[in-house]
Structure 1
Amino acid sequence: MSSSSISYGWKYDVFLSFRGSDTRHGFTGHLYKALLDRGIYTFIDNEELQRGEEITPSLVKAIEDSRIGILVFSKNYASSTFCLDELVHILACVKEKGTMVLPVFYEVDPSDVRHQRGSYEEALNKHKEKFNDDKEKLQKWRIALRQAANLSGYHFKHGNENEYDFVGKIIKEVSRRISRTHLHVANNLVGLESRVLHVTSLLDDKYDGVLMVGIHGIGGVGKTTIAREVYNLIADQFEWLCFLDNVRENSIKHGLVHLQKTLLSKTIGESSIKLGSVHEGIPIIKHRFHLKKVLLVVDDVDDLDQLQAIVGGTDWFGSGSRVIITTRDKHLLTCHGVTSTYEVDGLNKEEALKLLSGTAFKIDKVDPCYMRILNRVVTYASGLPLALMVIGSNLFGKSIEEWESSIDQYERIPNKKIQDVLKVSFDSLEEDEQQIFLDIACCFKGYALTYVKEILSTHHNFCPEYAIGVLIDKSLIKVDADRVILHDLIEDMGKEIVRQESPREPGKRSRLWFPDDIVEVLEENKGTSRIQMITLDYLKYEAAVEWDGVAFKEMNNLKTLIIRSGCLHEGPIHLPNSLRVLEWKVYPSPSLPIDFNPKKLVILKFPYSCLMSLDVLKSKKIFLKMRVLNFNDCQYIREIPDLYGVPNLQELSFCNCENLIKIHESVGFLDKLKILYAEGCSKLMSFPPIKLTSLEILQLSYCHSLESFPEVLGKMENVTSLDIYGTVIKELPFSIQNLTRLRRLELVRCENLEQIRGVPPNLETFSVKDCSSLKDLDLTLLPSWTKERHLLKELRLHGNKNLQNIKGIQLSIEVLSVEYCTSLKDLDLTLLPSWTKERHLLKELHLHGNKNLQKIKGIPLSIEVLSVEYCTSLKDVDVTLPPACTQECCILSTLFFDACGMNLHEIHGIPSIIRTCSARGCQYSTSVPTGMLLNKVATFICILLDIIHVFHVT
């Protein structure tokens, strides 16, 4: 499968190699005429050609351009060095170009040729005398004769059969070999070579076992064309060949038994074979094929039964066999165990322009005046070869005006030929899968997959996960960076299916997405019970809609209404009670319709709306199905009402409601609630107590008037992370310990925070940043942290400008970072029980920008990195080991004291294990440590007034 042979355009069907004086006017002449009579284009050298010692370049070219080489071995064939050179070059082309070879032994014994006996021995001995200095040439001839004689061929001897019949056998074999191969592939195709090479690399010609390779992609992308080209390229390497095209269509029309019969007929020629059932055909195929090297292409498969009937397993075929399967369904390949697959992507812009130009103008370069419209067509086709060829053919010879008109038409109503090809994949879907596809194609292209799943599971009342997987496998949709994407023409195909439900009356279609259609239905009150989904995108329609608000009255089957546009300046008088999803951005009315009773509603989202109250929720009605409530950025809402009527609520969001001042106590007792977003409610001063046993996410940041964190009335075990930014809370209540699985807590810019009374027991990371009222942090006062439960690993204090004391640093802490706490003067770690049998875990101590810090004491044995920077008042640092400890007890390896000014005079007790010490911009006195550990090398980097000194001590 050499890549050099991809351009296999043979000039001749047959090249005849023969000894002219033996057979030109006899056998070879008869064979040549018979070949021509059968329409087999054959090269034979001119009998008047003056032969020299070596074959000419023109003859070499003729050999390379020939599909089959027929070698007529006669008595004096080997006496011609010219013939022998031809033979060597023909056999070389077998490997390099896939040339087929057919030896004919005319009045000579194949064994004499193989072993160079008789006249062949005599001829080679004469050549030996003449070419004694070129033993390599002689060896090539001998090898070539032996290789050719080992090939299966034809042996003629007078008296055994009639020469006419013998020639007929050869003609029949040549015809079979020629007719079994080249499938028609258009000449003007673009981008084919790289795709063919990719597939041939998967076929791995060096592997002797059986391989199945799948080619998958959307309809019209070129799967069959690639398979045909690969088939043409490698066919000569196999004993039996078969290209089964249109398997999907033929199995529907004629059944699987017909496919089995076609396979047997094309390979072994048994067209009259009778099969009673698929199960009868399987053992016959396995028996006939298991010893043969077979190339089989199974084109356009859409059902696993088709593969199981034709290519059940690799054990059905002989060594070296290859099976190529084309399909629109990747999952089908997976189910059949095909692991080597290639997804065919569309053409890039350059390739698409070239294909379109070649189809529409029959030339590569076109009039520059057409470039704008050509680019428009390329954009519309989105790289789909089928679309480019159909449009290019339709517009061949047309004016620019006709091109413009046609593309306008295609964008409104897809071309039927393109539509029919693409729709095959849709037709193969189950009913539920078809509905999910139409929803996505019409309304949700480009949206986040999680959002699409949420809406569609609600709309259809079943999980769409499986259906979406099927759509992906069938190349109808893709998911990229969690976004659902479709080929533009696949999208158009889906939209056209819905449009055809009622071509002239949008109100009688199941889905509405096109702004003009929606506006027509709303303004003219043309809504009907057939409408199930409406999505109006904010970006696609800005003009004001003039309607009377009653258009929804007749839409009693409307399940999903999503409006992301501010084009409706008047709110609805009626909303259907059939709604399951209601999402309306910039809802224009202060309240919902008085007769709206949304008992089926699951998702209610009104961001940026003009709602002033949620009266529909204040009623005594129970909405058991409601799961999501979202009133983000609603500036007129002043309170969150009683929500006891929505006991199954899972997500509640009212972020940036700047005038919100009250939250009903019921919000704190929604035991199914998982997500609570209340950020940015700048006038909210208090939050009711909470006992939200299912809660996972709690957001209360930027509530600038919030004075207290809500009391936690019972254990809440699902919140693992909590950020509190920009509030005026004065303390963390003791009850926060009921967040028993909280692992990370961050307090930022809580400027009134004065004390921390309680912290959850399993906290691992605790950060306090820019809390300017915090003066003392005494962790020993926290009753939740007992000696038996030391879980805190990181404590980070940053920008707390009035913090003066830090006490009770827990044994479990591994990283302590204190930065820009400008009132902190002393950090005394000796207060910890550091030298007891319970080992301290502190590994890193970072002190940066604490400009009033003067002294650091009691650094524990566990420390590995001590980094102090811009602590300009620092005078004394003591890293001396306790008397009971040896140098071996210490693992401190890195010391940084950078930009600590001129006050740092001494660093006591630098241990010998130290590896790096930096003190840029400091003035201190110390000696290089002695008594280093045996066989260790220490490097000191002492930087005094920006002068670097490096010492190596062994």
Structure 2
Amino acid sequence: METQLPPSSSSSTYHIFLSFRGSDTRKNFTDHLYTALCNAGFHTFRDDDEIPKGQQILPELERAIRESSISVIVFSKGYASSKWCLNELVQILGRKRKNGAGYSVFPIFYDVQPTEVGNQKGRFKEAFDRYEESGEHSKDKIGEWREALKEVSKLTGKVLEDESNGHEAVFIQTIVKEIGIMLKRTVLAVAPYTVGIDSRVKDINQWLKDCSDVGIGVISGMRGIGKTTIAKVAYNFNFADFEASSFLANIREASEQPNGLIRLQNQLLSDILKGKKQKVYNTDEGIVNIRAAICRKRVLIVLDDVDQIDQIDTLIGFGGSLVNGSKILITTSRERLLSHEDHKSFRIKHLDYEESLRLFCWHAFSKDHPMEGNSEFWASALEKLETIPDERIRKTLEVSYRSLHDDHDKRLFLMIAWSYVGKDLDDAVKTLEERDFYSKIGMQNLLDRSLISVDKDNKIVMHHLVHEMAKAIIRQETNDGPQRHNVYSFTGTKTETITSEGSLLYKNEKCGKRKSMEDYEDESMPRYVEGLSPFKRLCLGFISLFEPATRLTTLLTRQHK
């Protein structure tokens, strides 16, 4: 991964020099750590001993050590078996002795204890026994290596076995946080397993570096696709280039809490004013104070998970108070949220098959490829996830469904999921209009929330996870409860829908009339409808719009007597 963010210190080319034994940790722990450091915005030099090297430290590595702010050394069982690693360690500690407090060394004890390193026990002892027996190295050189290991083992660092219950992902996040403190940089934690992040962040980074004018950028896409992670990485890469910055997370969720927007306003003021207290007690006061705070600085502000336009207006307005070069980056599941405002759009692509497999393997095996002998396991797991989405994923996707403003759009979404995926958009709109849906505006609302999309052939497309979520909603809301059930077919001669409040909307070509269920007299309506839950009534309306020829039956039930 390449980063464009330079270190804060003018004398350092790199934030971090990363030293490790390649054959031990190159493709697992160190790769995860390197990715996490880069995602946190740290310009990291990775010494990969896979590259052929001589017996001496190469000039470019000497320069990288000399021009970094911190050396992070990953000690593993085979570390001492590499003469290259030992020579590199001597060079790093020499830099530390020369620069004192101006240079830091941060040891990480991956699968060894500090005492094993310092006292050369276990595999370390075996390595030094071989060096002494071979006669290839002078006693002075071997002694220099021993002293270097003893010295570094006494430095403050991190021991995997002693922290995070041995969980590498949590351990890595702790390391990133510690390094941020050492470098006096506040960075946002990013999951260590990121796949395909470079290509998705590249255009955003270029846009953020354009200082010619004020810019509003919108990262959009379906829920769970990684918009927040991408925004965090972009923020970490670029925030140091601005006079002030702020990342406001989970705005949709926070705005639903009492005084949630006021809390976000206070956080934004604190970030922009560098901790100076300027507490506000109502949103109007906050708007005035925020505009005064940001009108004189080049700022980077990220608004994460926005779903209503007034949330933006309450927090930053629409750029009228910003100076040239300031950037507002918004993540949202609503593609048309700023359709009437000038902005740069970044539509996030789904992971392709290869990327998805790599991400799965990182989580399952801590490698980017399946482990030998486990092909049946991961193939079965992938097949299961394609058929039965993870519960956490389903709940994440349901947020977009629940955000639909009315039952009409919810019924329209369920109808499309059941019967119109893959159909021509114009034909579907026409058919649904004939069935008394307001399908033109309804389709736009679904497109806006990334619940559906339209391909180049004008066909309706629904992501398979969203499709499974829709079917799960239908099953859940029409077949809950432990009773014994009968299955009924219901195809009335009129177009009927039932709102979640339990009233019947009868609509014809000339006029729309709203009647109470009690006044409706139609023997085609099952009598037990009144006893159904509100959402079962909604689903009855959903099923009732199908043509009789489809032979679809409702999952509406009545208890056996």
TM-score (norm 2): 0.57
Which residue is 1:467 aligned to? 442
Output the CA distance in 1 between the equivalents of 2:3 and 2:65. 20
Over residues 581-622 of structure 1, what are the superposed CA-to-partner deviations in whole Å (9 max), with x where a residue is unaligned?
A: 6352799xxxxxxxxxxxxxxxxxxxxxxxxxxxxxxxxxxx
1:501 partner SS? helix
* Equivalent residues of 2:491, 2:548 under 8 A apart: no
Over residues 873-919 of structure 1, what are the superposed CA-to-partner deviations in whole Å (9 max), with x where a residue is unaligned?
A: xxxxxxxxxxxxxxxxxxxxxxxxxxxxxxxxxxxxxxxxxxxxxxx
Letter in 2 for 1:237: D
Residue identity over aligned pairs, in percent, reads 29
* Equivalent residues of 1:191, 1:347 under 8 A apart: yes
Q: Which of 224, 228, 252 is matched with 1:224 structurally? A: 228
1:430 partner SS? coil
Change (3 A) 1:270 1:525: closer
Which residue is 2:318 aligned to? 313
- Displacement, 1:456? 2.2
Letter in 1 for 2:351: L
Over residues 678-701 of structure 1, what are the superposed CA-to-partner deviations in whole Å (9 max), with x where a residue is unaligned?
A: xxxxxxxxxxxxxxxxxxxxxxxx
Letter in 1 for 2:313: Q
Letter in 2 for 1:472: L
Which residue is 1:487 aligned to? 463
2:337 partner SS? helix
Which residue is 1:448 aligned to? 424
- Displacement, 1:579? 6.6
Say which is worse superposed, 231-240 or 249-258, in terms of deviation: 249-258
* Equivalent residues of 2:5, 2:238 under 8 A apart: no
Output the CA distance in 2 between the equivalents of 1:301 and 1:262. 16
Letter in 2 for 1:359: H
- Displacement, 1:504? 5.1
Q: Which of 64, 68, 82 is matched with 1:65 structurally? A: 68
Letter in 2 for 1:314: G
Output the CA distance in 2 between the equivalents of 1:282 and 1:586. 57
Change (3 A) 1:237 1:585: closer
Change (3 A) 1:583 1:271: farther
Change (3 A) 1:358 1:501: same
2:328 partner SS? strand
Change (3 A) 1:301 1:67: farther
Letter in 2 for 1:231: Y
Letter in 2 for 1:65: S
Letter in 2 for 1:473: D
- Displacement, 1:270? 4.8
Change (3 A) 1:261 1:439: same
Letter in 2 for 1:225: T
Change (3 A) 1:178 1:507: same
* Equivalent residues of 2:297, 2:323 under 8 A apart: yes
Letter in 2 for 1:467: G
1:296 partner SS? strand
* Equivalent residues of 1:449, 1:483 under 8 A apart: yes
Query: How many residues in Structure 1 have an aligned counterpart in Structure 2?
Result: 362
Matched, 1:418 2:382: no
Q: Which of 222, 233, 237 is matched with 1:233 structurally? A: 237
Change (3 A) 1:62 1:368: closer
Output the CA distance in 2 between the equivalents of 1:476 and 1:67. 46
1:297 partner SS? strand
2:305 partner SS? strand
Over residues 619-641 of structure 1, what are the superposed CA-to-partner deviations in whole Å (9 max), with x where a residue is unaligned?
A: xxxxxxxxxxxxxxxxxxxxxxx
Normalized per residue, the structure richer in helix is 2
Matched, 1:195 2:171: no
- Displacement, 1:290? 1.2
Output the CA distance in 2 between the equivalents of 1:175 and 1:498. 47
Output the CA distance in 2 between the equivalents of 1:62 and 1:235. 25
- Displacement, 1:176? 8.0
Matched, 1:249 2:235: no
Which residue is 2:299 aligned to? 294
Q: Which of 349, 352, 366 is matched with 2:353 structurally? A: 349
- Displacement, 1:367? 3.7
Output the CA distance in 1 between the equivalents of 2:351 and 2:445. 24
Over residues 108-155 of structure 1, what are the superposed CA-to-partner deviations in whole Å (9 max), with x where a residue is unaligned?
A: xxxxxxxxxxxxxxxxxxxxxxxxxxxxxxxxxxxxxxxxxxxxxxxx
Matches within 5 A, 1:633-782: none
Output the CA distance in 2 between the equivalents of 1:377 and 1:532. 42
Output the CA distance in 1 between the equivalents of 2:5 and 2:549. 61
Q: Which of 451, 457, 460 is matched with 1:476 structurally? A: 451
CA RMSD of aligned residues (A): 4.1
* Equivalent residues of 2:454, 2:460 under 8 A apart: yes
Over residues 533-561 of structure 1, what are the superposed CA-to-partner deviations in whole Å (9 max), with x where a residue is unaligned?
A: 9xxxxxxxxxxxxxxxxxx9665899xxx
Output the CA distance in 2 between the equivalents of 1:350 and 1:199. 23
Which residue is 1:361 aligned to? 365
* Equivalent residues of 1:448, 1:482 under 8 A apart: yes
- Displacement, 1:211? 1.3
Output the CA distance in 1 between the equivalents of 2:193 and 2:464. 24
Letter in 2 for 1:266: D
- Displacement, 1:327? 0.5
Q: Which of 328, 334, 359 is matched with 2:333 structurally? A: 328
1:331 partner SS? coil
Change (3 A) 1:479 1:372: farther
* Equivalent residues of 2:335, 2:448 under 8 A apart: yes
- Displacement, 1:284? 1.4
Letter in 1 for 2:368: D
Over residues 200-222 of structure 1, what are the superposed CA-to-partner deviations in whole Å (9 max), with x where a residue is unaligned?
A: 1233x243322111100011101
Instruction: Give the structure with higher Rg (CA).
Output: 1
* Equivalent residues of 1:291, 1:319 under 8 A apart: no
Letter in 2 for 1:491: H
Q: Which of 415, 422, 429 is matched with 1:439 structurally? A: 415
Output the CA distance in 1 between the equivalents of 2:195 and 2:14. 16
Structure 1: segments with no counterpart, 5+ residues: 14-54, 69-85, 91-173, 381-406, 509-520, 534-551, 559-575, 588-954
- Displacement, 1:458? 3.0
Over residues 766-804 of structure 1, what are the superposed CA-to-partner deviations in whole Å (9 max), with x where a residue is unaligned?
A: xxxxxxxxxxxxxxxxxxxxxxxxxxxxxxxxxxxxxxx
Over residues 267-297 of structure 1, what are the superposed CA-to-partner deviations in whole Å (9 max), with x where a residue is unaligned?
A: 2145643324322222211211111111111
Output the CA distance in 2 between the equivalents of 1:528 and 1:507. 20
Which residue is 1:628 aligned to? none
- Displacement, 1:6? 9.8
1:324 partner SS? strand
* Equivalent residues of 1:199, 1:230 under 8 A apart: yes
Which residue is 1:264 aligned to? 269
Output the CA distance in 1 between the equivalents of 2:278 and 2:551. 72
Normalized per residue, the structure richer in strand is 1
